[in-house]
A and B are shown apart, each in its own frame.
Chain A
Amino acid sequence: MGEPLGQPSLENSYSLRPAFQHKFRSSAVKECIHAILKENLANVQYNPEETPGLTRSLSETIKDRLKAEGFHRYKMVVQVVIGEQRGEGVNMAARCFWDADTDNYAQDVFINDSLFCVVAAFGCFYY
């Protein structure tokens, strides 16, 4: 009841592809992420108590920024991982089940002396 039901004319007007200017461009997103990370993490030391909040705020910031970027009809998933730099080897990978034509991801890593921060932003086109 929230939305009017049963207007059959709408049914087949799906837009299956994003407009070119709204396409999820990995490089642009990466720049965006990079800028935010640089701005927010430049002189941050790792602190296990602050980190959860930091990740959350970062992911929110990035998500909002990406939304402002104008990727219409894209659902953004932003994952932020912050870990302490202690010399251990870290390997992170992602795998997606998606429509490779429309969906994309961007990833950026920020590393300073005490922490590393990995941000992966996935854009899923909302048909």
Chain B
Amino acid sequence: MEPEKRRTKEDTWKSDELKKHLRVSQSDSQSEDKKQKEKKLQRAIETHDMVDYKGYIPKDQDKDRGKAKERTEQANIRDEVKERRHTERKVKEGKKSESKNSLGEFLTKKDEEGGHRHKSHRDQELNKDRGRSHRDKREHEHSVRGGKERPSKERSHELFVKDGEEKYVLRRPKEGSSIEDRERQLSENNEKRQREENERKKRDLKKTEHKKQGKSLREEETSHHHERSATDKGKSIEREKKEDTSQRQHQGEHVSAWKPMQRQKSEEELEISDNYLTNYEDDFEDYVDDFDDDDDEDNDSEARDSEERLREIPVSKKSEIEEIQRAINAENERIGTLLPKQIQKEHEKEPNMERQDSPARGSLYGMFMDFETANQRQSNRNMASKQKKRSSELLRLIDLDFSVSFSLLDLPPVNEYDMYIRNFGKTNTKQAYVQSNEDNLERDVQTDEIETLEKWTQHPGDSVLVSGGPRSSNDVSVDIAVTPKIDSQRLTNFLRSACQVIAVLLEEDRVATQPRWNLRSRQTSLSISDSCFQLNTNLPFLHGRKVSCLHVSQVQRQALLSVHGLPEKPGAIQLDRKYIVCVWNVWQPSSPQKVLVCEAEVSCCCFSPSKATLVFAGTMDGSLVVWDLREDSRMHHCIKLNETDWIFRAPTFSTDGVLSSLNHTYPVLAIEPVSTSVYKEQNYGLSHLSSQEEMSGLSFQIASMDENGTLNLWVAVELQKVDLAGSQSDLGLIPGGKVKLVHSSTVQLNSSLFPKDILCLRTPQTLNIKFLPSNPNHFIVGTDIGVVSHGARHDLRVPPKLFKPQQGGPRSIRANAVDFSPFGKPIFLVGCSDGSIRLHQMTSEHPIIQWNDSTNGQPVIALQWALTRPAVFFVLDASSCVYIWDLLENDLCPVAKQIIQSDKVMTMVVLGEPEKTNGLLGIALAKQSGIIDIQYVKKRWALPQSEESEKLLLLLQQSL
């Protein structure tokens, strides 16, 4: 006991030294668990050093160099500590073995209890340690160690006592036993431990032979461990470090840890860079140490045995040993897996048995618990390290990222009313709402209601019914309005003609009933006439206008044109500057049917040949104007005069200023329609193409001749389309007009008609022109040289060229009037300004008959065949004397002579209807006062006689 105790004291001294150092380094490190703590620290330092060496060589190199010595010292110290611990344990073992019998189980238990407490305490510390980062702590300790080591070593023994007391107090505060007790207990504990070891050894005998051997070896070894540690000290720095660690671990406690340690080292070498892992594994090793140290005493001893054996065995045998060690290692690992269970078993077995007996055994029991948790921690660490490694490898393969924020719950705050309703709304109340006057709606419409009425219409109307529908919206039944079918065009035509007829009848009736008219006519009646009447020129717009020209349609014999000149004194109305042409129906003398106005002085005029629907006029300006009598009256100017509406028709078409290159440059003296109808008769069979034109009455030309001998032929063209806005191309056309003149051809009569001998004297002036009725290609032109030239269209050369008077050559005699016989005979009369009258036939140059002095030298103004009798003609001379010739009755002088004295007769035209045999033949006399008298000559000159034409022909032949 004694030497062991001493040894223990020595050991404790050493440990005390360490403890002191520890206390300096760490205030809370308690001395009671000094051993464990020291061990732990040592481990930490060792591992730290190792790490430093392996992991941090580049970093700590200079530091290492500098501290090399210190480290060696430290290592030495640690060695010492370890040795001390070792010896302590040996002492314990020794004690155990000694006190096996005497002390019994009580002490063991106590010891175990102490250990138990001890363990819990150490746990705390460990936890603390773990809480800090390993590295920091180690370095800290390291430095502290470096600094404090020496002084602590130099400390005296009394410190130990104190420490021991402290230790004791801390360790067993409850038990409150003395130091001696404590020491005794220690020894007892040791003894007990030894005993247990033995027991366990026996138990574990079956496990391995090695262990047994180890144990036996170890028993031997226990004596020399001091020397061993001394030799350890002498080793070189770096090499020593490695081996030292392993050896120290050997020495220190256990064989089981030895192998893993080596393996760990190799691992460390492999994974130098992986600090964490290394550290962890270091820690892990630490725990392994703890575990083995305290838990498996038999293992310990075995390990120690092997350790010692290893140390003794030369290096050459190391390989064998290593093999053995590997085997041991493997076994240890196997045991390790089994250990928790074992511990558990032990827990259950031993404590249950022993705790009842004595508290002393409790301490021993505590030791086992300690191991278990250590084991657990260890495995945890192990797991953690594995996971760390795992994670480090996995993190390279996966990506972690922040997700978007998920809204797990969004509960909006409830407003107060809802809250109120939720809380109190259901309690004994019921909610309802009522809206009063809900049906009291007002509606307002701003628009009037639309009235609809169904009607239908059909255009063009198929039947009598062209439209219909209910009369009102209420009357749904379709009321078919029976409307008579009216052909408006026919009706208009009918009305137009009927109105004329009625108007004429009414006028005649009025003439008959009104004596004034009769009286007047009677007054003005002449000796040569049976009756006479006046055209009513007593109209406001005709006041004071001389009648310069009269014309009667060749087809519609009742249609008469009168040309009125400008009034002598300007009247009130705006027509004063215009010339007026009136269209009369001689049966309706009360008013002109149409009133035409023209800006220029009208010198001649004519109707269209087939139908009196167009009026052509030549003017002194050289222009030609056309009036279309069919035009709607609305197109023209309407003036209300004396409560009667008069429509003044403007020309439909005028060549004035339009066709300037083709127009006449001299006053137009004659205008004649050139009918093609007669011409057609000669070309039977071809007419049919132009039947359409004939129907419309437009198949004719207009010949106009000015006093310079220019003959223009025009074609009247009726436009198909009416443009009310006015034509762009036909500038002479009135807007809405339908008829225009197109220039056809121009003949210069002077050059073509007259022989050179006549022309060389002077250019003869042409005065009038007449077309042969039977062949419109031939025409005769009256001149101012007494001759009438014969011409033909299309440059036909026809003899004779000239129709000359009977005596003398050309002289200055105007052939004022020429007229073809209307009965188809190629004979014509010429009235000259010297009063001579000639009767020519187309075939001879000289006249058949010439009357020189019938008018007493008065110039003949007008001369015209009677329309009903071929042998009668009328002559008007300048002295307003009208002569009636009847060649059958007297071929030397006129049969009747009537001088009109009241008024100067300006012109005369013959009226008559040769188709009828009523014997009505009249002459219209235009007087200077503007009165137009119509005298119906007596029946004997009017009524045709039998075989008159033959007689005339005979007469003419005789006179040749």
Chain A residues with CB under 8 Å of chain B are: 1-6, 11-12, 14, 16, 81, 87-102, 105, 107, 109, 111, 113, 116, 118, 120, 127
Contact = CB atoms under 8 A, between A and B. Distances in A.
B288 interface: yes
A87 to B, nearest CB: 4
Nearest to B336: A1
A16 to B, nearest CB: 6
Contacts of B414: 87-88
B398 A16 contact: yes
Q: 10 shortest A-B CB distances, which residue pairs?
A: A2-B379, A89-B413, A87-B414, A1-B336, A92-B409, A90-B411, A92-B408, A96-B403, A87-B419, A118-B409
A18 B630 CA distance: 107
B378 interface: yes
Contacts, number: 100
B128 interface: no
A120 to B, nearest CB: 5
B410 interface: yes
Interface stretch (B348-356, B382-390, B535-543, B723-731): B382-390
B409 A116 contact: yes
B408 A5 contact: no
7 contacts: A1-B375, A14-B393, A87-B413, A91-B409, A95-B405, A96-B406, A97-B402
Contacts of A99: 398-401
Interface centre among A1, A3, A116, A118 (most CB of B within 10 A): A1
A2 B337 CA distance: 6
B679 to A, nearest CB: 110
B207 interface: no
A87 B421 CA distance: 11
Contacts of A105: 406
A1 B372 CA distance: 12
A71 B397 CA distance: 22
A81 B409 CA distance: 10
B808 to A, nearest CB: 139
Q: Majority SS of interface residues in chain B?
A: helix
Given A89-B411, A127-B398, A107 B336 contact: no
Contacts of A111: 411
Interface residues of B, number: 37
B409 A109 contact: yes
B513 interface: no
B408 A2 contact: no
Contact of B397 (A16, A95, A107, A118): A16
A91 B405 contact: no
Interface centre among B288, B406, B422 (most CB of A within 10 A): B406
A113 B422 CA distance: 9
Contacts of B267: 6
A5 B400 contact: no
A1 B379 contact: yes
B488 interface: no
B407 interface: yes
B412 interface: yes
Given A14-B394, A98-B403, A99-B400, A1 B409 contact: no
B288 A1 contact: yes
A112 B411 CA distance: 13
A88 B413 contact: yes
A5 to B, nearest CB: 7
A93 B336 contact: no
Contacts of B375: 1
A115 to B, nearest CB: 11
A90 B411 CA distance: 5
A100 B419 contact: no
B403 A100 contact: yes
A14 B397 CA distance: 10
Given A4-B333, A14-B397, A92-B409, 15 more contacts: A1-B378, A2-B337, A12-B393, A14-B393, A16-B398, A88-B413, A91-B410, A92-B407, A93-B407, A97-B401, A100-B403, A111-B411, A116-B409, A116-B411, A127-B398
Contacts of A16: 394, 397-398
A111 B412 CA distance: 13
A6 B383 CA distance: 12
